[in-house]
């Protein structure tokens, strides 16, 4: 058995009368930056949700370090392979509520300094921590949501068109931190995107058309 970080093996997904994904297989190595692209409605998001264990495939399996994720603790897996939504929504009242949530679920003490450092890394001020979430702009919310996924750095980050609704400046900030985490911490990213820039930055591009994997470039 080879020990890829992630191995997607013969994944299919069907609804009652429609086949969304058909026998998708590929593997991802640690630190790799993989971009999944293709026309809208081709099943890219569904694939990413299956890898994130948000939904189950109808057929096939996802292996993480050689182990079928259906047979391991889904909570531990999701802490290591973290799915990040297209239009992430913040919950509760303040930025603090959101950034302390990853600590709450692990039953650990909230590291306020680290949260402030992270806010700075995405160009938000340290005082933002106690700001009510409804006073943030769309781009600011997306940045807070991103560092929410990174308070405990996952091994793999699944990014579902996370910059599609953002302006150039916000895109740049988000790309910047992802770039650093990839280079310094070996963070693997799997991103669904239409952004030409992101595609050109990728180590590998996977194209999905009508639920099928096209030959990668």
Residues at the interface with another protein (CB under 8 A): 52-56, 70, 74-76, 78-79, 82-85, 88-89, 91-92, 101-102, 104-106, 145, 148-149
At residue 193, the 3 state secondary structure works out as coil
In the complex, the smallest distance separating the C-beta of residue 97 from another protein, rounded to whole angstroms, is 10
Q: Which residues contact 76 (CB under 8 A, 6 or more apart)?
A: none
Closest to 103 measured CA to CA, from 145, 146, 148: 148
Cα three-residue angle 28-174-54, rounded to 5 degrees: 50
CB of 79 to another protein, least distance (A): 3
Whichever of 56 and 185 has its CB closer to another protein, that residue is 56
Q: How far is the CB of 73 from another protein (least distance, A)?
A: 9
Q: Is the Cβ of residue 75 or residue 209 nearer to another protein in the bound state?
A: 75
User: Smallest distance from the beta carbon of 138 to another protein, in angstroms?
Assistant: 15
Contact (Cβ atoms closer than 8 angstroms) between residue 156 and residue 80: yes
Of 82 and 170, the one with the shorter C-beta distance to another protein is 82
Residue 36 tokens, joined: 């999944």
């Amino acid at each position: 058995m080879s020990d890829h970080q992630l191995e997607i093996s013969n994944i299919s997904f069907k609804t009652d009368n429609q086949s969304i994904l058909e026998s998708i297989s590929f593997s991802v190595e640690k630190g790799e930056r993989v971009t999944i692209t293709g026309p809208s409605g081709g099943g890219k998001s569904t694939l990413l949700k299956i890898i994130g264990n948000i939904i189950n495939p109808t057929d096939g399996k996802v292996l993480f370090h050689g182990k079928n994720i259906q047979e391991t603790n889904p909570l531990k897996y999701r802490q290591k392979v973290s799915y990040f939504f297209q239009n992430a929504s913040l919950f509760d009242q303040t930025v603090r509520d959101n950034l302390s949530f990853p600590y709450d679920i692990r039953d650990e003490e909230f590291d306020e300094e680290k949260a402030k450092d992270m806010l700075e890394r995405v160009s938000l001020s340290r005082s933002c921590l106690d700001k009510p979430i409804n006073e943030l702009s769309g781009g600011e919310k997306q940045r807070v949501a991103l560092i929410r996924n990174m308070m405990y750095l996952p091994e793999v980050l699944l990014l579902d068109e996370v910059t599609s609704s953002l302006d150039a400046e916000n895109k740049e900030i988000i790309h910047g931190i992802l770039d650093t985490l990839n280079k310094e911490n070996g963070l693997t990213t799997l991103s669904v995107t239409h952004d030409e820039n992101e595609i050109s930055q990728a180590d590998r591009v996977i194209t999905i058309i009508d639920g099928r994997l096209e030959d990668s470039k």
